[in-house]
């Protein structure tokens, strides 16, 4: 008999029972927070690492955004760098509204205007905490969304947050 095919309890397999358990997402992130060495914010979930890492991903609703923003604020106040890689202004504004966290200015553009994003490519490392938007609707590749489109998707429940922890 295959492992996991035996029934237990009320006719469900141990695997079904495990997969059916509710995950305390906030509890998981609170337990991981002391180990975070960097927080990276991206517009979409991205798995890109130079070294072999394991990753754990959690999907969170936009209603958890303010709590997640408080977690980021706490990590930043503890000295953990918060790196924002979101270049598209409406997406950045949407993330800031959802999280209730305004990303700091990290430099100046060619025109002298303040920049709140890091130029370059994010590469994950051990103990990185990555936060990004997940949009549950097919979007034409390369076409940036307007603020109104993003807000509409949030209202429709088509937007969630993805948190990835690399360990």
What's the rounded Cα separation, in Å, for the pair 37 and 141? 32
What's the rounded Cα separation, in Å, for the pair 149 and 129? 27
143, 43, 24, 103: CA torsion to nearest 10: -140
167 residues of the chain, pLDDT tens digit each:
444 445 445 678 888 887 778 889 999 999 999 999 999 998 877 777 777 788 888 999 999 999 999 999 999 999 999 999 988 888 888 899 999 999 888 888 888 888 888 877 888 889 999 999 888 777 666 677 788 888 898 899 989 999 999 98
Question: Looking at beta carbons, which pairs linking 22-27 to residues 24 or more positions away fall under 8 Å?
Answer: 23/58, 25/58, 25/60, 25/64, 25/163, 26/64, 26/67
Please, what CATH class does the domain formed by 24-166 belong to? alpha beta
* Residues 85/106, Cβ–Cβ less than 8 Å: no
pTM across the whole model: 0.78
Nearest of 60, 134, 139, 68 to residue 97 by alpha carbon: 68
Residue boundaries of the structural domains of the chain: 24-166
CB-based burial label for 127 (10 Å; 0-12, 13-18, 19+): middle
């Amino acid at each position: 008999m295959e492992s996991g095919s035996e029934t237990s309890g009320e006719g469900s397999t141990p695997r079904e029972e495990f997969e059916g358990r509710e995950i305390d997402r906030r509890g998981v992130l609170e337990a991981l927070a002391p180990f975070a060495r960097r927080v990276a914010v991206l517009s979409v979930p991205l798995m890109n690492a130079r070294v072999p890492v394991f990753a754990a991903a959690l999907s969170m609703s936009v209603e958890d955004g303010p709590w997640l923003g408080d977690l980021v604020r706490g990590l930043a106040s503890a000295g953990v760098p918060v790196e924002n890689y979101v270049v598209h202004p409406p997406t950045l504004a949407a993330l800031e509204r959802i999280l209730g966290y305004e990303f700091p200015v990290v430099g100046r553009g060619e025109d002298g205007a303040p920049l709140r994003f890091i130029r370059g490519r994010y590469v994950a490392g051990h103990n990185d905490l990555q936060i990004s938007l997940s949009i549950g609707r097919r979007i034409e590749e390369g076409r940036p969304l307007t603020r109104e489109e993003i807000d509409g998707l949030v209202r429709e429940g088509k937007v969630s947050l993805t948190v990835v922890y690399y360990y």
